[in-house]
Amino acid sequence: MNYYSLLHNSPKTTFKNAVVNGIAPDRGLYFPENIAPLSKHFIDHISEYTNHEIAFEVIKQFVGDEIPEEKLKEIIAKTVSFDFPTVKVDDNIASLELFHGPTMAFKDVGAKFMAQCLEYFNKDNDDEVTVLVATSGDTGGAVANGFLGTKGVNVVILYPSGKVSDIQEKQLTTLGQNIKALEVDGVFDDCQEMVKTAFLDKEITKTLTSANSINVARWLPQMFYFFFAYKALHKTQKELVFSVPSGNFGNICAGIMAQKLGLPIKHFVASTNINDTVPNYLVNGVYNPKPSKATISNAMDVGNPSNFIRIQELFNNDIEALRRAFSSYSFTDDETRSAMKKIHSSSGYVSDPHGAVGYLGLKKYGLKENEFGVFLETAHPVKFLDVVEDTLPVSVEIPEQIRGIMNHKKIATKASSYQDLKDFLMN
């Protein structure tokens, strides 16, 4: 499998190079040259396969022969090592829980898969690689956990000061070893811009790779979730509509990839908070990124979502085709809190703010009688403890994964400019 840059000013490259380099030399995102649909027999008989077998079938064409089959199966076994349950919260709506991994966020799958791939590709290389990643919340913790102790890999995580939850900050600043955190005076978009600038800096770029969803090994494994949900729900005999809480748009882009592989998904809803660049684009046809605004669903506080260009590519940059298959709506913090209350009062289910935004997207879309809606619950409510307990009459039990880090000391370096980042990387 070859990959090409979506800016079309760089040569095609291999899966290995796309993973190791993260971003193309022209600063474009890599995209697979071919997407071959899976067999109808596989889709129709998906219940007969284990999650490990499903994940292998889904990802193998994108890896090609660059990782041996047995090694790829081993990587998948280490990656897909927890459950992905669907929980009914309404007559025609279910939550797909993606938070049962080590850092209790959906990004555990992509981070672990990428870490395992990078370790394999680096196994005979004595040079160290630095994984550089910006986070609006959950990516940092997932990447830190996924790469902790990985041979030949150092990790530098940039996060916006005061704009991630306390638990999210603990998860990315307390592990030590090969994990370093930079606390940036700014918003997520500032962190992301610093990372992109670093990849263009010839003094340092040769030793860098990215673990944001711009990296194909972080992005593509997110297809697994949609196949697992279909396996659990296809016997409802209803057409599935997925609502995905969307920030950098990697997760919903992976869902559309799953659809291109033949998964019968009727429609996608990209549900956002007040960072409404994509909802506005679908209304007026003008893509106008703007500075992100802070919300209670902070992992979606992105004003210029990197992966939206991949979604446009999947629809051949045809906005009318996109509008037929894809809707996007934005919601305020007040609406998010109201949705959390409504879900809890009607079903007893405790959603985090991101899941609540996903639920709101399904409600605004308006499910028809023959449709069944799935919203992605991307993080455990404990990750947003203050918001959840201030909104709902509940006391959230602290899971074991979180209790273990609560008393650890935060270690982070302050940064306010790209030069601060460069100095840190060079020293």
Show which residues are catalytic.
107
- For residues 321 and 323, give the distance between their C-alpha atoms in angstroms, rounded to a whole number: 5
Q: Cβ–Cβ contacts within 10 Å for residue 394, how many?
A: 12
One-character DSSP codes across 109-121: HHHHHHHHHHHHH
- For residues 120 and 243, give the distance between their C-alpha atoms in angstroms, rounded to a whole number: 34
Which amino acid, one-letter code, is at 211?
A
One-character DSSP codes across 249-318: SHHHHHHHHHHHTT--EEEEEEEESS--HHHHHHHHS----------SSGGG--SS-TTHHHHHHHTTT-
Give the bridge partners for 243, in sequence order. Answer: 269, 375
Q: 356: Cβ–Cβ under 8 A, 6 or more apart, which residues?
A: 297, 336, 337, 339, 340, 343
DSSP state of 40: H
Tokens read off for 364: 């605004």
